[in-house]
């Protein structure tokens, strides 16, 4: 199994968990906070989508579809405190953007050889790991870490545990 195939496989579980956790939530429910000072799912989705976009464009600047105008500004540390529905996208819009970004990440990943994935990570994103492959593998960890927070929100909303 190549590094790209292994990383692709490692991205499958977080993608499945994220999709299942979001499936039965409403636009209003993605604005529920697990605890007063914690971020709601809407903000976290924006953060995750723009993070993946940023990380992968450090490897290949033209590989990712553009994010909507103003998207980054809507998902800053300062906007995390907002609970206004109009400050965020709908669940359907986040899901569409999430899938478009992931599809582009996987498309690029499939073109990279083991040698390319073993090259040093770009300096701006080497906090994810020392190699280009770590940039892609880091997405699995990042998404799963946030999805774990969503399990708490789901329980707060009275939703059944899924795993």
pLDDT in tens, 108-163: 999 999 999 999 999 999 999 999 999 999 999 999 999 999 999 999 999 999 98
Rounded Cα gap, residues 48 and 32, in angstroms? 17
- What confidence tier does 42 reach under pLDDT thresholds 50, 70, 90? very high
Query: What pLDDT score was predicted for residue 52?
Result: 98
Q: Is 42 in contact with 13 (CB distance < 8 Å)?
A: no
Query: What pLDDT score was predicted for residue 163?
Result: 86
Query: What pLDDT score was predicted for residue 126?
Result: 95
SS3 for 91?
A: helix
Hey, which residues does 131 pair with through a beta bridge?
A: 120
Mean pLDDT taken over the chain: 97
- The residue ranges of every structural domain in the chain are 3-156
By the 10 Å C-beta count (0-12 exposed, 13-18 middle, 19+ buried), 60 is classed as middle
CATH for 3-156 (1.10.1060.10, 3.40.190.10, 1.20.120.450, 3.30.70.3270): 1.20.120.450
């Amino acid at each position: 199994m190549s590094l790209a195939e292994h990383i692709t496989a490692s991205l499958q579980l977080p993608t499945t968990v994220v999709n299942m956790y979001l499936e039965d939530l409403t636009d209003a429910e993605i604005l529920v906070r697990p605890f007063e000072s914690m971020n709601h799912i809407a903000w976290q989705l924006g953060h995750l989508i723009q993070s993946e976009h940023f990380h992968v464009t450090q490897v290949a600047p033209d590989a990712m579809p553009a994010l909507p105008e103003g998207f980054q500004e809507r998902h800053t540390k300062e906007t995390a405190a907002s609970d206004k529905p109009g400050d965020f996208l709908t669940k359907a819009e986040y899901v569409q953007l999430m899938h478009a970004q992931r599809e582009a990440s996987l498309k690029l990943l499939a073109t990279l050889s083991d040698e390319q994935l073993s090259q040093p990570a770009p300096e701006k994103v080497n906090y994810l790991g020392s190699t280009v492959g770590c940039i892609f593998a880091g997405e699995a960890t990042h998404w799963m870490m946030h999805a774990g927070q969503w399990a708490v929100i789901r329980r707060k909303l009275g939703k059944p545990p899924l795993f």
